[in-house]
Structure 1
């Protein structure tokens, strides 16, 4: 069921995908964002993951920093407060985070592109819980990509080989509490676009996520409890020559009591395979301007290029 045809789409992933594909596509074309209900990730798993995420971030700084991997680009383990900054931003974002990536068997041909995960021994059940959540995110993301393929007039399984063993990353994110009168409305994460294919975000129910519209106005993304926010990343924008928009967005501190407490969320950055070449779809090239599209580039090379821009490589 689609709850809005003129605003950011709110759709049920339990519906047949061909009944929601164009509503999703319209929302991605206009806003770069959509909201997904009935996404299939068990609430019990979400609750457990939120509890363990808070348990990890409550550990002493010296314990957390032991899981920081210098030179790793933040791809795995812990990234301390004040490290990442948005492209072209002058200040670092007010956040700390932990990354869980794909685990590949020894000798896998793509293992050179993906570091091994690290796991905090201080939080019981951490590895099992977040391995399960990673897998659940992949299933939900695959459903969204299938709907996108239908909207674009592609075979519904078009994206399956493009993301198989992809370099997807799950981020456990904490924005520490702020103090003082400046806390209300403060920028938690500066305006930025996501690098990846699509992002699936848990934990956006609390006010603060805003996107920049085509009219250069900031628009709040309102999220029903338990829903996922989905947004288009730069890689999918590049593949579709801007037909599906990677929209600039930011996180601002809400007003009132919520401004003075920590904020937690869990985005899943779904990536193409490192060896997938992002080459504009023929259907997204204007026949009257056949050269007006980005040059082909591998997913891995594009990722490295963008990580350097945000101070993680």
Structure 2
């Protein structure tokens, strides 16, 4: 792991709160990224999740495509290889993925923008295991947001009622082996995430790189017991860039490593769809004037960005 991007023990939020909040806030102000260890998510759950995700991606293409929803923007179910393209990129990413969303009452007020989940019948354990991981990462993300709220002078529970029905997504990703040479595509082009924060659990191989403020690409491969948590564009906008949404990518590995598949599972923590992203007054000053005088709802912002990456 790079020594430059800090890894912090989140148990300190309970035992050494003031210092932990200061350290976490400083890491995000500088990098937009941090590693979180002692997060409490059982390794057995993470391992089981990766096992069922691998089994799904190993299914025949025509079977997986049964769960692709044309026109659905990839919101739920399967998105095939060769569709998602990083904002501004010429070539599509070398990946396929699945989306698990929040389970909500189908007569609830967000039902029109948060469709029901799809579950692959060929992998019966998928639903139970994937949703258990979804809920565990959702809870961990809420703890991180509590610490960040304190760091910028908000109540600890400020985000609680703004993310409790958030349109958050668990995304198991498969990057297939790369067998061609001299291809212009990369596994994931340089991009920033759309949401509030992203939690990346158990990347199975190196490849993640983070763009430093000096313009250098810094590799960030987490230890097995560490979850990588980074700032997304919604939180960058909300905090008027106090917390930067840092550009990152997944590069193609060299030599024989390119012929190995790569799996990763990010959790994109979103606000509730009707949450109004309005610059926090705590984050506006003479030195940092309001960059976003016009607020936007989380749902409208999401749709705007999904169009840019060619999912809708």
Give your verdict on TM over 0.5.
yes
Residue of structure 2 equivalent to 1:12: 9
Match of 2:179 in 1: 179
Cα deviation 1:234-259 (Å, max 9, x = unaligned): 00000000110001110012234422
Q: How far did residue 224 of structure 1 move? A: 1.4
After TM superposition, the structure 1 stretch with the greater mean CA deviation from structure 2, 93-102 or 205-214, is 205-214
Superposition map of 1:31-110 within 5 A: 31-110=31-110
Whether contact under 8 Å (2:240, 2:290) holds in the other structure is no
Point out where structure 2 has 5 or more consecutive residues left out of the alignment: none
Deviation at 1:260, TM superposition (A): 1.4
Distance in 2 between residues matched to 1:58 and 1:101, nearest whole Å:
22
C-alpha deviation, 1:203, in angstroms: 2.5
Mapped contact 1:286–1:292 kept (Cα < 8 A)? no
| Cα distance in structure 2, aligned partners of 1:289 and 1:80 | 42
Matched, 1:311 2:300: no
Which ranges of 4 or more aligned residues in structure 1 deviate by more than 6 Å?
Answer: none
CA contact (8 A) 1:285 1:293 kept: no
Q: Residues 75-116 of structure 1: CA distance to partner in whole angstroms, max 9, x if unpaired?
A: 000000000000010010000000000110131111111000
Shift of residue 226 of structure 1? 2.4
Q: Give the secondary-structure state (helix, strand or coil) at the position aligned to 1:187.
A: coil
SS of residue in 2 equivalent to 1:88: coil
Query: Could you say which residue in structure 2 is the equivalent of 1:214?
Result: 213
Equivalence for 1:241: 240
2:285 is aligned to 286
TM-score normalised according to structure 1 size: 0.94
Instruction: Tell me whether 145-154 or 44-53 shows the greater mean CA deviation.
Output: 145-154
CA deviation string 1:101-141 (max 9, x = no partner): 01101311111110000000000211111111111111111
Q: Match for residue 299 of structure 2?
A: 300
Matched residue SS, 2:94: coil
For residues 35 and 24 of structure 1, the distance between their equivalents in structure 2, rounded to whole angstroms, comes to 10
In the alignment, the residues of structure 1 paired with residue 150 and residue 58 of structure 2 have an alpha-carbon distance, to the nearest angstrom, of 43
Q: CA deviation at 1:222?
A: 3.3
Whole-angstrom CA distance in 2 between matches of 1:45 and 1:205: 15
**Correspondences of 1:221-236 after superposition (within 5 Å):** 221-236=220-235
- Residues of 2 paired with 1:269 and 1:34: CA distance? 15
Matches within 5 A, 1:117-196: 117-180=117-180, 182=182, 187-196=186-195
CA RMSD in angstroms, aligned pairs only: 1.9
Aligned equivalents of 2:201, 2:289: Cα separation in 1: 39
Alignment partners' CA distance in 1, 2:75 and 2:291: 33
TM-score when scaled to structure 2?
0.94
Paired with 1:283 and 1:110, the residues of 2 have a C-alpha distance of 29
SS of aligned partner of 1:112: coil
Deviation readout 1:184-205 (Å, 9 max, x if unpaired): x972100000000000001235
Gaps in structure 1 of 5+ consecutive residues? none
User: How far off is 1:290 after superposition?
Assistant: 4.7
